[in-house]
Amino acid sequence: MQPIRDPEVLKRMELAFDLYEAAEEIMRQNLRRRNPGASEEEIEEGIREWLRRRPGAELGDAEGRPGHRFEDTECSASAKR
């Protein structure tokens, strides 16, 4: 497979990753606000649960097969920065 070199595609991919990171951080803030006594481990479990459930997009973002990217907690844990 060839690496992506098109600057426009790279720019869009970077934007998509930035948006994902921003959404995850916003959800962390929401979880902390809703659960002020929660530990960081509990917050991270809340993030994993949110990624598994995907409220509002339970069957995916478009027609086709639902994704299972975040079902394995080992996988989602390794995706953390």
Answering whether pTM is above 0.85, one says no
Give the C-alpha separation, 7 to 35, whole Å: 42
Question: Residue 56: what pLDDT?
Answer: 75
Q: Would the pLDDT of 81 be above 50? A: no
pLDDT of residue 42: 98
Are the beta carbons of 59 and 66 closer than 8 angstroms? yes
Check residue 34 and give its pLDDT. Answer: 97
Q: What is the pLDDT of residues 22-75, one digit of tens each?
A: 999 999 999 999 999 999 999 999 999 988 887 777 776 666 666 677 676 554
SS3 content of the chain, % helix, strand, coil (to 5): 60, 0, 40
Instruction: Give the C-alpha separation, 70 to 60, whole Å.
Output: 12
| Residue recorded with tokens 């990624």 | 51
